[in-house]
Amino acid sequence: MSTIAATVEPTATSGLVEIHNVRKSYAGVEVLSGIDLTIEPGEVVTILGPSGSGKSTLLRTINHLESVDSGSVTVDGELIGYELRGDRLHELREREILQRRTQVGIVFQSFNLFPHLTALENVTEAPIALKRLSKDDARTSALGLLDRVGLAEKASAYPRQLSGGQQQRVAIARALALKPKVLLFDEPTSALDPELVGEVLDVIRDLAQLGTTLIIVTHEIGFAREVSDRVVFLDHGVVVEQGPPSDVLVNPQNPRTREFLAKVLG
């Protein structure tokens, strides 16, 4: 763990994610089988694993897009979807979940932008709807975010007028608009043409420098190696191996990690 602490941004004071014994089944089939992970403020963690191993499900439990069957997920000590009453967890009401969920942004493979809104409106929508910012302030902030992802000149473009890489960068700006403590990425470059992957990875690389906790599901092994403080390998809903990328990606100990890496690295 000392390697991890040494590489974490010293300025990051929030964004601690604690996942404790999380279990989740669909129709009697267990998809997450007791996940324990602590992700430090400002840490960059990539999650690797075969298709169906539970990577997306795990990400979705972190911002409570999925409920858990047992166990808990907290961000800076606060439960996202539940509150503790006595010794039992009760699911919060939708409104409260929405408020707490803003601490954790998520960027999907398929961008999920609002097609009828411009790039700028996609970014201002949530801060205005949640009454976090006035329209003017939301606009100023959104223009700054679009500039940060290299899209200042595309503010008035609609998603259909943007390339996949540009749409994904708008989606990242949108996720940042609520100033999340933690940002989740679920295969952010998988739907992109190869020549557009780099521009999205550049934006994520910049975020990694800024001290937001990042949890990234990706098949871009080279990128994972370069950007992560820690790599977590998931298989059949279990963390089978984790550690610094220089260990897990270079000298994997678990046979399942070895097999997976051999496949994706060709």
Residues 7-36 that bind ligand ATP (CB under 6 A): 26, 31
- Does 167 bind ligand ATP (CB under 6 A)? Our answer is no
* 24 binds, options Mg ion, ligand ATP, none, Cβ within 5 to 8 A by partner type: none
CA dihedral of 253, 211, 188, 184, whole degrees rounded to 10: 80
- Does 51 bind ligand ATP (CB under 6 A)? Our answer is yes
User: CB of 54: closest distance to ligand ATP in angstroms?
Assistant: 4
Residues 22-61 that bind Mg ion (CB under 5 A): 55-56
User: CB of 22: closest distance to Mg ion in angstroms?
Assistant: 16
Considering only 4, 37, 43, 56, the residue that binds ligand ATP (CB under 6 A) is: 56
- Does 189 bind ligand ATP (CB under 6 A)? Our answer is no
Helix or strand (DSSP H, E) at 138: helix 135-148
User: CB of 110: closest distance to Mg ion in angstroms?
Assistant: 11
- Does 55 bind ligand ATP (CB under 6 A)? Our answer is yes
Q: Is 222 exposed, middle or buried (0-12, 13-18, 19+ CB in 10 A)?
A: exposed
Instruction: Show the tokens assigned to 213.
Output: 């906790």
Q: Which of 254, 260, 218, 181 is nearest to 46 (CA)?
A: 218
- Yes or no: say if 160 and 110 are a contact pair by the CB < 8 Å rule: no
- Yes or no: say if 105 and 204 are a contact pair by the CB < 8 Å rule: no
Write out the residues near ligand ATP by the rule CB under 6 A: 26, 31, 49, 51-57
Binding site for Mg ion (CB under 5 A): 55-56
